[in-house]
Chains A and B, each alone.
Chain A
Amino acid sequence: AQKVTQAQTEISVVEKEDVTLDCVYETRDTTYYLFWYKQPPSGELVFLIRRNSFDEQNEISGRYSWNFQKSTSSFNFTITASQVVDSAVYFCALIKAAGNKLTFGGGTRVLVKP
């Protein structure tokens, strides 16, 4: 069975601070995808980033960056120079390749104060 754990339930920062969200996962599948989604107060789940299990290269996309470490089953996500509009709940999720069920973590609420 798959499992995704987001140990941080809520993080509060002041604007322009960096925010790192932790995600630890469990799976027996050898090929899988990891995701981060953002859920603003409106409720819609917005796709942010995807990483496949064969690619541990860490990347930066604008103010977002991620650190995928297969050895520790972690997929952490960082928002650099946070803005008030980044305030939302962020979900880490896992799916096996060609699978149908996304397994979500419990979410981390990020509050960015001006």
Chain B
Amino acid sequence: DGGITQSPKYLFRKEGQNVTLSCEQNLNHDAMYWYRQDPGQGLRLIYYSQIVNDFQKGDIAEGYSVSREKKESFPLTVTSAQKNPTAFYLCASRGFPDTQYFGPGTRLTVL
């Protein structure tokens, strides 16, 4: 089945640790996105990538990093510089026309 997978579903991080969230898609989409959702709020764009080896900052990129070495994969690293990382993280890829399809999400909690 075609779709977007994210892992892990739940992630716990200690203060000062970097953690990496996985996002994989087999939809053959070029563009991929990372969003953050805080309780009771809409989504905010962290980073996006339109093609392999290229990515752009979104509205809240500070404390996050990404890579795009393969078309299918767009991992997000939450660094220790992100002061309030506890949130729900959603990955998406863009199909035609301009429609973003989302993965199941990763819930990150800082202990």
Contact = CB atoms under 8 A, between A and B. Distances in A.
The secondary-structure label for the interface of chain B is strand
A11 to B, nearest CB: 15
A71 to B, nearest CB: 23
Given A33-B98, A97-B98, A44 B104 contact: yes
A35 interface: yes
Instruction: Report the interface size class on chain A.
Output: 20 to 34
The secondary-structure label for the interface of chain A is loop
Interface of A: 4, 33, 35, 37, 42-47, 50, 52, 91, 95, 97-102, 104-107
Nearest 8 CB-CB pairings of A with B: A104-B42, A45-B102, A44-B104, A43-B105, A104-B43, A100-B48, A33-B98, A101-B45
Given A44-B102, A97-B97, A102-B45, 12 more contacts: A4-B42, A42-B104, A43-B104, A44-B103, A91-B43, A97-B98, A100-B50, A102-B35, A104-B42, A104-B43, A105-B42, A107-B41
